[in-house]
Structure 1
């Protein structure tokens, strides 16, 4: 994902001040879809800042480029890769991008420190964060983490875990906390009992690894998963963020509605054509293997579809309030919370995504995906 990004907490001021140090442009594939370019004149240039490198996590945006959905809405979109030293919401706030993809709690931490950004479309409706352990460890719920070696990435990614432990009556001192690298080697090597993982990335990594006891790939039955959606401490993740100040400009307002419309078209395309989106991401320069990318697209689809009855990208008030509650109350090992006060009224708006949804509904597009059924993906060794 993106988790090396420094955000909020003790580093919040550094987040806001951090400049662009490694921003690069991903290759933009020519349109292969049937969408016709806008005939209204010159295209409006738009820069989208991702929160991590090219991968299936962002397949909908690459699909919107590849299939000509942005061009159809009169936009010429340039996708900027994220990286270790890139904070997408800071790039947006500094005016070096027009829109950014960022997790809600991290972006709100930046907003609390002065970044003028607004959530204009909540793409992921569910959290993709797991805590993964080998089945023989008997860790099936947060309460089972007591007295275990528990890995987490930190950098603002740990709060679902700490909220879950707090709810289960576990203090940080009741577990051995381990700073986890951004892979699953510590779990596979037996150095920790439970590892932080994203459903669409690190969890696949353990299923792509060979079980030395069998000589075959590990199977889901070899592991237990704590899903923070089930534990009640999930927080909203990938959203489209816009520049708050620029939202007072009618031209930017129009561009925002068009950008969300085309982005949703991209995600709808990936919902209905996951293999094609796998190929699009690989063609766009992903360094991950094809089976891993198909797994990613499939798992990301589960985080989006089915969407709220109002339509994909809608910011659900209850989910927003839960995220804010966790961000205000959950303390990490340093005693820090993500937020110190309630976000102001401009932190999110459904105005532009509602316009986008109505546009797509008027064109006969399914914006809810109530009949969505995920695929069964076979992973290859190493994700190849």
Structure 2
């Protein structure tokens, strides 16, 4: 006996049941063992024990053991070969597990072909979804679509998971418009998307700054009865702010609150930045005030937007005031100092520009970087102070 007596005793009571044909591996204890940290080694012991007991695995137990191999292709094949040797017909679940483990290889496709060729064993929607998901993750969208077409040809109806797998795969590989067209085509065939479908498409169109499509999809999502989560609202608000559509962004903010969500710091900062860029600084201040009332503390990014706005408009007093507010609660970033140095230098106020540059190191303990040094040198040169620029004075 190759397995030590202690291990055999440990597993014999929990991992086998007795029938007229002798002990069989019970799938439930195997699943329990599989969840443990050392599941791989214990599964190997269970498998070896079943062989030493002189009994074949049940179909379910074999499927569980295959799953427990965790991508160990060689051992998975050994187990499949043993099943064949013992005339154990693989179940659909066995093939689902195998395909799930082997989707990175051509073998996943070969397994599907083998499954289809076996009498009384037809792939189901779960099998196809597993294989299509693997193909999409590998970037082989066309092969994934071929499997989708094959589903329809053999009479296996795709479900919303199939839809979401292909939509996500196309979006991840830059085929956003193709994903949308596929979605609309599936809708025309009676397969409606869910919140995951809409969220995937909205996120993809946000990433390519196509705000018109984002708004359209958001409206469709609401009309279809799908409830957006907070992330969808946040992405939409960010996209609208980036596009300068601040009234629309404010409306979506109201809808977000009506839906029971709270804006996060990223959402608030998008609004502050958007209002500042569109010369609506009073609205930006309103957002800062709302943040504080909601218990969301403005951070350096919030204040940087205000400071950049004041600097660009030559209002250095308010820029300095915002800097003081910031220092009371947050350490200014190097971007904050860079904006002030550039603004003062551009307006010929070299004295203040140099004061800010020196404060950066002495007060905030932020070492200048290449960008701030270049801003400083540019400011000095633009004001004909070449000697200071060259000497670092």
| Interval of TM-score (by shorter of Structure 1 and Structure 2) | under 0.3
More helix by share: 2
TM-score (norm 2): 0.19
Greater RCO, 1 or 2 (C-alpha within 8 Å, sep 6+): 1
TM-score (norm 1): 0.20
More strand by share: 1
